[in-house]
Amino acid sequence: MKFLNLRLKINGEEKIIRVGSRERLLDLLRRLGYKSVKEGCSTGDCGSCNVLVDGVLVNSCLMLAIQARNREITTVEGFVTGRKLHPLQESFLEFAASQCGYCIPGILVTAEYLLSVNPNPSEEEIRRILVGNICRCGGYTKIVEAIRTASLLSRERR
Amino acid sequence: MREIPDFDIYIPSSLSDALDYLSNEGKEAFVIAGCTDFIPMVKRGRIRPIKVLDISHLRELRYITLDSGFIKIGALTTISDLVNSPVFDNRYGGIKSLERYFGVITTRNMATVGGNLASGGERDLIQIFLALDAQVKIRSLQNERVTSPTEAKPNLGELITEITFKDIGADSCMEFSKFEKRAANGISVCTAAVTLKISDNLVEDVKIVVNRVKGREPGRLYRVEESIIGKRIEDAINDVDIMVKSEVDPAGDFRGSKKFRKEITKVLVKRTLIKCIRTITGGVDRV
Ligand SMILES: Cc1cc2nc3c(=O)[nH]c(=O)nc-3n(C[C@@H](O)[C@@H](O)[C@H](O)COP(=O)(O)OP(=O)(O)OC[C@H]3O[C@@H](n4cnc5c(N)ncnc54)[C@H](O)[C@@H]3O)c2cc1C
Ligand code: FES
Ligand code: FES
């Protein structure tokens, strides 16, 4: 078949959507308006398309939309509750960790994944996971500081 | 980058359904699992699939077990599954090191063991499994065959289903080292995978694999292995690098000339052996 009606959840919302076999998860998400998901390299090298699938960090440019059937997708749009930003987003604002911003959604999703598997990462661990996220504007120092601070703040809150 | 062309996709309900499809209407079908090689290949125009079989959801092919001294790994096991498996303790430092050497976190979460072997070339698991003397099980609807990791490219109609090897046992260690240009893109310049067994301070058994033994072929350095078996570990380490350098004949390319690759391979093999010895002797620095 060339088309399939998929059932999946995006940021907690159930959806049934008709997708083409050639559509990548990245294409589907952008078609549905989740524009935080960016296309950079298309080959798994830059991390700007990163999303969570059932809580696991993947490159949405390397997954066919059909492969996301019956799964739960999280993008940065799902980080916001009402008008309240996610602690990572607050921290990125606080540190002015973003310049043009193209790479930032991918980095935020990566950071969220890191904190889900390792709530108190060291600077080294943050830097290591970020080798898969390319930022061509600035340095990584503010990004690393923002993630580290967000992890400390959310620990205090717990 | 090209557009992905339209293709027919089949989603099997089980392994036997997948094999059935491949031997009937899906004879020419392209198998996909983690897609980390498939999508880049399509985008770069290297392949133009017309029919695709998606096996990514077949849970029956995703497992790591240790039973009666044998380790079995299902083809859909991801690299992250390998790295995080309790089956691999510190004797399997080479498998744990994939966390550092294999692509980035997203690649490790998506890429499967079967896909890595099927893609062939200088991919990391081929070398690691070769150093573990592993066998790869390949199935079609009618047939099942077992082959070495370097020969595991499946024919049309076939699926890689399992990788098996004997647990390396006590006083043994498997290590892997990789020299690459950029940590995240995964393409190695030189690698070394070594499995070592020591007894009474002597090398009882060793397997040494490098990514380019001759030309672009990965393989074992049998002559080097033979020459150090039975030696005291200190002596084995002393002689090994000169011998490695004279045994390998790698093809040079833009990532590294032949001369450069010989030098680096020599150093990597020695370092990897030393890593094995340190693990086996509990970190005691005797070499
Ligand atoms: C950013 C990046 C970094 C990388 N870094 C590394 C690295 O450091 N080391 C390394 O070794 N590799 C690396 N790779 C390549 C690696 O991800 C792939 O080789 C991967 O293991 C292939 O598995 P897959 O499940 O993604 O296969 P797919 O892309 O789905 O398929 C790949 C090939 O295998 C076939 N196939 C898949 N499963 C089976 C099966 N069970 N039976 C028969 N055929 C099958 C497919 O038909 C296809 O030909 C990297 C890739 C990327 C994108
Ligand atoms: S667009 Fe997906 S990793 Fe670059
Ligand atoms: S802020 Fe511009 S690419 Fe990262």
Does residue A108 belong to any structural domain of this protein? Answer: yes
How many domains does chain A fold into?
A: 2
A158 pLDDT exceeds 70?
no
Boundary-marking domain end, from A17, A52, A75: A75
Averaged pLDDT of chain A: 95
Residues B104, B184: Cα–Cα separation, whole Å: 5
Q: Which CATH architecture fits B8-54?
A: 2-Layer Sandwich (3.30)
- Would residue A35 count as lying in a domain? yes
Domain covering B59-166 in this structure, CATH number: 3.30.465.10
Q: What is the pLDDT of residue A1?
A: 76
Q: Does A61 reside within a domain?
A: yes
Mutation for testing the A interface, residue in B106, B109, B112 having most A CBs under 10 Å: B106
CA distance B261 to chain A (A): 25
CATH at residue A131: 1.10.150.120
What is the tally of helices (H) and strands (E) in chain B? 11, 13
Tokens of residue B32, six digits: 């996909």
Report the residue of chain A nearest B185, measured CA to CA.
Answer: A45
Integer Cα distance of B32 and B118 in angstroms: 11
pLDDT per residue rounded down to tens, chain B (287 residues): 889 999 999 999 999 999 999 999 999 999 999 999 999 999 999 999 999 999 999 999 999 999 999 999 999 999 999 999 999 999 999 999 999 999 999 999 999 999 999 999 999 999 999 999 999 999 999 999 999 999 999 999 999 999 999 999 999 999 999 998 776 667 889 999 999 999 999 999 999 999 999 999 999 999 999 999 999 999 999 989 999 999 999 999 999 999 999 999 999 999 999 999 999 998 755 45
ipTM of the complex: 0.96
Question: Dmax over Cα atoms in chain B, in whole Å?
Answer: 62
What's the CATH number where A71 sits? 3.10.20.30
- What are the residue boundaries of the structural domains of chain B, listed by start? 8-54, 59-166, 172-280
Q: What pLDDT does B267 receive?
A: 96
Residues A150, A105 within the same domain = yes
End-of-domain residue from the set A43, A75, A107: A75
Instruction: Determine the pLDDT at residue B183.
Output: 65
Shared domain for A53 and A95, answered yes or no, is no
Tokens coding A72? 């739960």
pLDDT value, residue B239: 81
User: DSSP string spanning B34-72?
Assistant: S-TTHHHHHHTTS---SEEEE-TT-GGG--EEEETTEEE
Separation between Cα atoms, residue B151 and residue B147, nearest integer Å: 6
pLDDT value at A156 more than 90? no
- Are B4 and A50 within 8 A, CB to CB? no
| Ligand 3 lined by A96 (C-beta under 6 Å) | no
Comparing CA positions, the residue from B220, B203, B51, B201 lying closest to residue B150 is B220
| Ligand 2 center–CA B49 separation, angstroms | 21
pLDDT (mean) for A101-121? 97
Q: Give the nearest partner residue to B6 out of A22, A58, A110, using CB atoms.
A: A22
Contact A59 B40 (CB under 8 A): no
Q: What percent of chain A has pLDDT over 90?
A: 91
Among A48, A75, A102, give the residue marking a domain's end: A75
Cβ neighbourhood burial of B83 (10 Å; 0-12, 13-18, 19+): middle
Both A101 and A127 in a single domain? yes
Q: Is residue A81 part of a domain?
A: no
CB B19 within 8 A of CB A36: no
Are A98 and A120 part of one and the same domain?
A: yes
Same structural domain, A69 and A125: no
- Stretch A117-131: mean pLDDT: 96
CA of B56 to the centre of ligand 2 (A): 20
Which residues of chain B have a CB within 8 Å of the CB of A129? Answer: 104-105
Is the same domain home to A91 and A67?
A: no
In angstroms, what separates the C-alpha of A129 from chain B's closest C-alpha?
Answer: 7
Q: Residues of B with CB below 8 A from A21's CB?
A: 6-9, 52
Separation of alpha carbons B113 and B165, rounded Å? 14
Q: Measured between alpha carbons, how far is B203 from B276 in angstroms, rounded to an integer?
A: 11
Q: Is B91 or A2 the better-scoring residue by pLDDT?
A: B91
Residue A150 lies in a domain: yes
- Range(s) of the domain holding residue A140: 87-157
Residues A66 and A20 in one domain: yes
Taking the CA of residue A45 as reference, the ligand 2 atom at the shortest distance is 3
Res A22 pLDDT > 60: yes
Report in angstroms the alpha-carbon separations of B189 from A46, B216, B264, B271, B272. Answer: 21, 11, 9, 16, 16
Same domain, residue pair A67 and A95: no
State the ligand closest to the CA atom of B26. Answer: 1
Let me know whether A69 and A95 are in one domain.
Answer: no
* A80 in a structural domain: no
If one looks up domain B172-280 in CATH, what number appears?
A: 3.30.390.50
In a domain, A82, yes or no: no
Residue A152 lies in a domain: yes
